[in-house]
Structure 1
Amino acid sequence: MRIDETDAFEYRCTQSLDIACSVTEAFSALHKMGDWPNHLPHVQEIEVLYDDGQYQEFLMVVNSDGNEVRVRSVRNCRDGEIEWFQPVPPKYLTNHGGIWRFQTCDVGTHVSVTHVWNIDPSGAAVAFPMVDELEIPGHIETILGDHSRLALAGWNRVLGGGE
């Protein structure tokens, strides 16, 4: 069972984009996380902790709205999919993970990314003090959806638009 198919997560959102490249090119670009700072402006640094070709662990520094955020990710890369989770998610989440999928389409490759998560109510109240408690799930979905759209747009520039 894939991470986005389990009942362990209360929330999920998916973003997708068709990119003019082969599935192999798209998968390879996302698989080679050490190269990301050369292609994606918001990724400032990658420190590879483990990579045996299928399983990967790395620390990434990203620019998120002018703030440097350090993220640790663990990934399982297989069969046109990259499944991932964050052992230490943002303080407003108790769990956070997702999956990238790559499928052939008329344009080249249909790339989708799904985030799954559970909210830490006390952490969310501290992180988003101006957001009504009932609106926090939608607020978090917007944040994660924006991150997905930014990444997809970046990969489209790199893979589909020529860099």
Structure 2
Amino acid sequence: MSPSRPHQTVHTRVVAAPPEVVYELVADVRRWPVIFEPTVHVRHLERTSGAERFELWAQVNGQVNTWASRRDLDPAGLRVAFRQERSHAPLTSMGGDWTFRPVGGGRTEVVLTHRFTVDGGEEQLAWMNQALDTNSARELAALARVAELGHPVDDLVFSFTDRVVLPGVSAADVYAFVRRSDLWPQRLPHVGRVSLSEPQPDVQDMEMDTVTAEGRSHTTRSIRLCLPGQIVYKQVVPPGMLLGHAGSWEFADGPGGAEVHARHSVAVDPEAVDAVLGAGSTPADARRHLRDVLGRNSRATLEHAGRYAREQPAPHTGAGVSR
């Protein structure tokens, strides 16, 4: 097989859900970080009713890569075509499509096709094939898992945002507090332990033990991207009751002080709701619980960040001080 010519891979899975349901999960790329395990973050660059451009960060063979893609959406034809506008080495081009075909009994055959070229020899081609085999299988499995839950998707996959204004501090101060999560056990009462590493520049791997208001402790592991004015995260080990959890902190200076928007996106596992909230609990109960607990933790983190920044001594500006 020559690595210089175009190559193609095809991955398929039959999903026990109607084609329209499965199509919508793929078509709404904003949901991907809480549905697809490899996807860390998506940022739209342009969007219309039938097409979109976005930047995507995803784990590929153990590393976080980023690229820009364009997609054409065809709900009538049950097809999503994609093409990378800016690929990550060793790729020189990448495109393909998702198609959704009814196969009877309320089931759908999902076909994910990739067409690509690589720069390099057989080693680079083998690396790319391995990445596509691994990520495609994981994405199709995750797609089936959510589509087959037996509840309306909007009841289980949702987002919410809190806006917090912190008087007397700068956005840079709050950003620094959130970025240095290795210091959270000394700074935040609801955090018991944090293990933080930075395997790539501005990419963090964070494991954290959190204590709930009821005294329960749970461990999460997240991949975090420290972007200009924004820190985004994707929990690769989410807490109980969640199939996926991702979010972001967005920092800006406003007239009243630092303004921070803390956003959470979640995918609820309805089969785990009873175990966490008690027998007879519903997805609606889970929604209220998550809105309260996750929002409260984010607001508490930001209030502590503001208090910490205000308590720091003002920087010395006397002559002779190296800046």
TM-score range with shorter-chain normalisation? 0.7 to 0.9
Give the total of aligned pairs.
158
User: Could you tell me which residue of structure 2 aligns to residue 106 of structure 1?
Assistant: 255
Q: Are the aligned partners of 1:22 and 1:104 in contact in 2 as well (CA < 8 Å)? A: yes
Q: Are the aligned partners of 1:91 and 1:127 in contact in 2 as well (CA < 8 Å)? A: yes
| Residue 44 of structure 1: how far off its partner (Å) | 2.0
User: Could you tell me which residue of structure 2 aligns to residue 45 of structure 1?
Assistant: 193
Give the TM-score normalised by the residue count of structure 1: 0.86
| Residue 34 of structure 1: how far off its partner (Å) | 1.4
- Shift of the 51–34 alpha-carbon distance from structure 1 to 2, 3 Å rule, reads farther
- Shift of the 72–7 alpha-carbon distance from structure 1 to 2, 3 Å rule, reads closer
Instruction: Please give the alpha-carbon distance, in whole angstroms, between the structure 1 residues aligned to 2:306 and 2:199.
Output: 25
Amino acid in structure 1 at the alignment position of 2:162? Q
- Shift of the 131–53 alpha-carbon distance from structure 1 to 2, 3 Å rule, reads farther
| Residue 11 of structure 1: how far off its partner (Å) | 1.0
Query: Identity of counterpart residues, as a percentage?
Result: 24
Instruction: Provide the secondary structure at the position in 2 that maps to 1:87.
Output: strand
Coordinate RMSD, CA, aligned: 2.0
| Residue 98 of structure 1: how far off its partner (Å) | 0.1
Instruction: Please give the alpha-carbon distance, in whole angstroms, between the structure 2 residues aligned to 1:59 and 1:138.
Output: 26
Amino acid in structure 2 at the alignment position of 1:148? S
Give the TM-score normalised by the residue count of structure 2: 0.46
Counterpart among 200, 204, 219 of residue 70 in structure 1: 219
Amino acid in structure 1 at the alignment position of 2:276? A
Q: What stretches of structure 1 move > 6 A for 4+ residues in a row? A: none
User: Could you tell me which residue of structure 2 aligns to residue 21 of structure 1?
Assistant: 169
Instruction: Please give the alpha-carbon distance, in whole angstroms, between the structure 2 residues aligned to 1:151 and 1:62.
Output: 12
| Residue 85 of structure 1: how far off its partner (Å) | 1.0
- Shift of the 95–103 alpha-carbon distance from structure 1 to 2, 3 Å rule, reads same
- Shift of the 131–79 alpha-carbon distance from structure 1 to 2, 3 Å rule, reads farther
Instruction: Provide the secondary structure at the position in 1 that maps to 2:218.
Output: strand
> Quick one: higher RCO (CA 8 Å, sep 6+), 1 or 2?
1
Amino acid in structure 1 at the alignment position of 2:204? Q
**Which one has a bigger Cα radius of gyration?**
2
Q: Deviations over 1:65-115 (max 9, x none)?
A: 222222211101111000001111112011101000001101221012101
Counterpart among 257, 267, 276 of residue 118 in structure 1: 267
User: Could you tell me which residue of structure 1 aligns to residue 294 of structure 2?
Assistant: 144
Gaps of 5+ in 1: none
| Residue 144 of structure 1: how far off its partner (Å) | 1.4
Instruction: Provide the secondary structure at the position in 2 that maps to 1:91.
Output: coil
Counterpart among 31, 46, 52 of residue 179 in structure 2: 31
Instruction: Please give the alpha-carbon distance, in whole angstroms, between the structure 2 residues aligned to 1:150 and 1:131.
Output: 30
